[in-house]
Copies of this chain bind each other. A is one copy, B any other.
């Protein structure tokens, strides 16, 4: 599959640059605010660019606690975890003791003090198979 050709524009370079500069999630408004400290890029362009990057798999998105969508640069579409059936929507509550190992790995490998974690699974539940 060939790479779909697109224009290289200043807004795109600026936005991708900002996202790649920090390994964290940014809201569209936050990106817009930051860019406009030194440049002029409309909020709608920020949204359209993010959508563009999302389609290309160059960024990951998630909604924060307030429900606002946030974006983060993310090379290959990487790993991101309730069991929700994609067919009927049924939710299976999953008990996950294996998380303890992940918590340990987080502390060891990332020096991250795990305070809480959230998991979400998607797939086909037993009733839909």
Nearest-Cβ distance from residue A15 to partner chain B, whole angstroms: 18
B110 touches A81 (CB 8 A): no
Q: Which residues of A73-129 are within 8 A (CB) of B?
A: 74, 78-86, 89-96, 98-99, 101-102, 105-106, 109-126, 129
Residues on B with beta carbons closer than 8 Å to the beta carbon of A109: 94
- Cβ-defined partner of A110 (8 Å) among B25, B92, B98, B111: B92
Query: Copies per complex?
Result: 2
Secondary structure type dominating chain A contacts: mixed
Residues on B with beta carbons closer than 8 Å to the beta carbon of A80: 82, 118-120
Interface size class of A (residues with CB under 8 A): 35 or more
Known contacts A23-B91, A94-B79, A96-B81: A114-B121 contact under CB 8 Å: yes
